[in-house]
Amino acid sequence: MSDRTTVIASVEFPTYYGGIGTIVYELARNWHAMGERLTAVVKYNGEADREFDARQGYGIVRVIENGGKPSKFRARIRAMRRVVEEQRPAAIYASDWRAGLVSWLVARGQVPYVVAAYGSEFTARGGTPIDGLVQRWVMRHVRRVLCVSGYTREMAIGHGAPADRSVVMPVGSDPDRFLPADRAAAKRGLGFEGRTVLLTVARLVRRKGHATVLRALPAVVARVPDALYVIAGAGPMQAELEELVSELGMGEHVRFLGEVAYDRDVPSLYPAADVFVLTSESDTTHGVEGFGIVFLEAGCCETPVVGSRAGGIPDAIEDGVTGYLVDAGSPDQMADALIRILSDPDLARRMGRAGRERVLRDFTWRRIAERTLDQLYG
């Protein structure tokens, strides 16, 4: 066991499985397995937290947040101050700039901290002008800004992060959880038997680009008549997307699954897909795709991928090796890429295998956890 203590500060953490929560949980899980002493100061989600926390083996302090933003902020400050005073940590990992602000206010320069950056916090969605000023202050006082992609690093630097302390630190995936399987059997288990499956796992919001895939679908079906586009996720765009399906006459080729459980359902979806597709748009008003962890998860399952040249997605896909990159908002390029993969089983197999090999080589959570520790203490 290490003789130093690392504190993790994050609003998101399981039993809430958001993107940030998943990243923080995987770092904590792997640091604990590596013998690091740590305590996570995270938001209380509900009664399910108690059983979850008891299984982890490291310290977890839950912050009960009631009332408005000032009350919630004060609760985080009190919890972090108590942990820092009691444990005297060697460093703090802050899951975003807001957690970084709490860390700075509590540590006052006595404990170094790093802040993770994703991309959307630097868009109009990221907060008020005052939030932007505070964000710049936090970024200027960190040991490192850990950016999930080269695209995010450029955004962070443009918003006040020091270039010499801003590094690319991608997310990872778990190849022991996301596993390849017999595709035909996986399809039977989910009711997709006899179909060539295209899969998207994402919230139904405009910037995720579902409409681009739907507009490409008629051309794909003309070449691959048994194609089925499976859309996993829920969101405000569902009615509009269902209307587009009707307009295109693609009702027999699209299936909306609705909300799916990340921990229970998603690992079984990727092996049932012949190709995974997500053509997000660079929407600096509503958010950006900082990296695209779903491409790694699909790759772990040896499923080839198609994504857009938007945000940090080019860091997640090795173009022509693990899948294809296309221009965002281009149904023609999307259709061409999908048809190339779906009409060439040997190519699809090579790309799928290359995707898993790439994760095993560069993107396991253990590897990312080791690299993150290097930035905390290096």
pLDDT in tens, 232-270: 999 999 999 999 999 999 999 999 999 998 888 999 999
* Number of domains, the chain: 2
Q: What is the mean pLDDT of the chain?
A: 94
The pLDDT of residue 290 is above 70 = yes
Which residues, 6+ apart, have CB-to-CB distance to 178 below 8 Å? 267, 270, 297, 298, 300, 301
The answer to whether residues 17 and 66 belong to one domain is: yes
Which of 17, 11, 82, 72 shows the shortest CA–CA distance to 48?
A: 17
Task: Give pLDDT, residue 120.
Answer: 84
SS3 assignment, position 8: strand
The answer to whether residues 166 and 209 belong to one domain is: no
SS3 assignment, position 362: helix
The answer to whether residues 23 and 125 belong to one domain is: yes
The answer to whether residues 143 and 199 belong to one domain is: no
The answer to whether residues 170 and 224 belong to one domain is: no
Strand intervals (E) in the chain: 5-10, 37-43, 59-63, 91-94, 113-117, 144-147, 166-168, 196-201, 227-232, 254-258, 275-278, 305-308, 323-326
Q: List C-alpha distances in Å: 355 to 43, 176, 364.
A: 34, 14, 12
The answer to whether residues 150 and 199 belong to one domain is: no
The answer to whether residues 273 and 343 belong to one domain is: yes
* Domain CATH number, residue 220: 3.40.50.2000
pLDDT, one tens digit per residue, over 120-165 is: 888 765 567 888 888 888 988 899 999 999 999 999 999 899 999 9
Q: What is the reported pTM?
A: 0.92
SS3 assignment, position 266: helix
Dihedral angle sign, alpha carbons of residues 248, 251, 254, 259: positive
The answer to whether residues 26 and 158 belong to one domain is: yes
Task: Give pLDDT, residue 125.
Answer: 59
Q: Which domain holds residue 220?
A: 183-362
- List the single range of 48-57, 124-133, 187-196, 212-221 with lowest mean pLDDT: 124-133
The answer to whether residues 159 and 249 belong to one domain is: no
Mean pLDDT (whole number) for 332-355 = 98
pLDDT, one tens digit per residue, over 38-88 is: 999 999 999 999 999 999 999 999 999 988 989 999 999 999 999 999 999
Which of 199, 180, 178, 208 shows the shortest CA–CA distance to 26?
A: 178
The answer to whether residues 191 and 337 belong to one domain is: yes
What percent of the chain has pLDDT above 90?
A: 85
**CB 289 within 8 Å of CB 310:** yes
The pLDDT of residue 168 is above 70 = yes
The answer to whether residues 119 and 56 belong to one domain is: yes
Under the banding of pLDDT at 50, 70 and 90, the label for residue 303 is very high
The answer to whether residues 209 and 262 belong to one domain is: yes
Which residues, 6+ apart, have CB-to-CB distance to 61 below 8 Å? 39, 40, 41, 42, 79, 82, 83
Quote the CA–CA distance of 24 and 217 in Å, as a whole number: 37
Token pair, residue 6, equals 């690392």
Residue 168's Cβ-count burial label (10 Å; 0-12, 13-18, 19+) is middle
> For the CA atoms of the chain, what is the radius of gyration?
21
Mean pLDDT (whole number) for 87-100 = 96
